[in-house]
Amino acid sequence: MHERLRLELLRRLDRGTLSVSLLARQTGFGQSHMSNFLRKRRKLSLDALDTILTSQRLTAADLLPALARDSANPPSEEFGMVPLVSHSAALFDAVIRPSAIQSMLHFPVQVLESIHPRASNFRKVWQRFVAIRIPAQDAMAMEPLVLAEAIALIDRHYISLTPYRPNRPNVYAVRQHAHLAVRYVDFTSNRLVLRPHSAAFPVELLEVDPGETPADLLVGRVALILNEA
């Protein structure tokens, strides 16, 4: 629980929605106290954990891995469950909190197990598979490969630009500033090149900031696209 809370706080710090000084003011603890916790130099008491959870509007359940909500109708062992989440959760949430799950989707276990990862050690601690819905405006650049309201299964453990299959470009979910875009991706001259499927849309260049790598901007490989009939 300590580690999951620490990772969630670090995620909020990285996103800029929280600072150590703000956390100290919200909880009444000293900044050095909070900094030592975030740096793994000390643990917190149960009362302190409760105080931080309350200040961040979190519950203990939010720090647990995503679980099936409908226990009355458990899925067949032939299917694995993948959370459908917002673009923001797919971008930034290492562990998907129950409150972030819009619904649970069933995918054949054989399909999920056949997907090969390529991830850094840091990314391997992230919950691997998530699904997102692609709204019409975001889908237009990738039509007809991606249609309006399509569901994309994202493998967040594949953040390599190496082609998954020879002579076939990968489709990625990419962090474009605070937005998630679905594109083909290349890397050249310290820029990610975001290529649409539709010739009616322009190629976009995304700068890789100092201290970042191309992999830092990749949410993951789009492993499967489900277009509505």
Kindly report, residue by residue over 183-199, the tens digit of the pLDDT: 999 999 889 999 999 99
Confidence at 124, pLDDT banded by 50, 70, 90: confident
Confidence at 61, pLDDT banded by 50, 70, 90: low
Whether omega for the bond prior to residue 169 falls within 30 degrees of 0, making it cis, is no
Question: What was the pLDDT predicted at 77?
Answer: 59
Kindly report, residue by residue over 9-47, the tens digit of the pLDDT: 887 887 777 888 888 888 898 888 888 888 888 888 878
Question: What was the pLDDT predicted at 169?
Answer: 93
Question: What was the pLDDT predicted at 116?
Answer: 93
- Report DSSP letters for 172-201, one per residue: EEEEETTEEEEEEEEEETTEEEEE-SSTTS
| Average pLDDT for 202-223 | 91
Residue partners of 68: CB distance under 8 A and separation at least 6: 74, 75, 81, 104
For residue 172, pLDDT beyond 50: yes
Confidence at 4, pLDDT banded by 50, 70, 90: confident
Does residue 161 contact residue 193 with C-beta atoms inside 8 Å?
A: no
* Three-class DSSP category at 82: strand
**Against a cut of 0.75, is the pTM above it?**
no
Name all domains of the chain by residue range, CATH numbers in brackets: 2-63 (1.10.260.40), 79-226 (2.10.109.10)
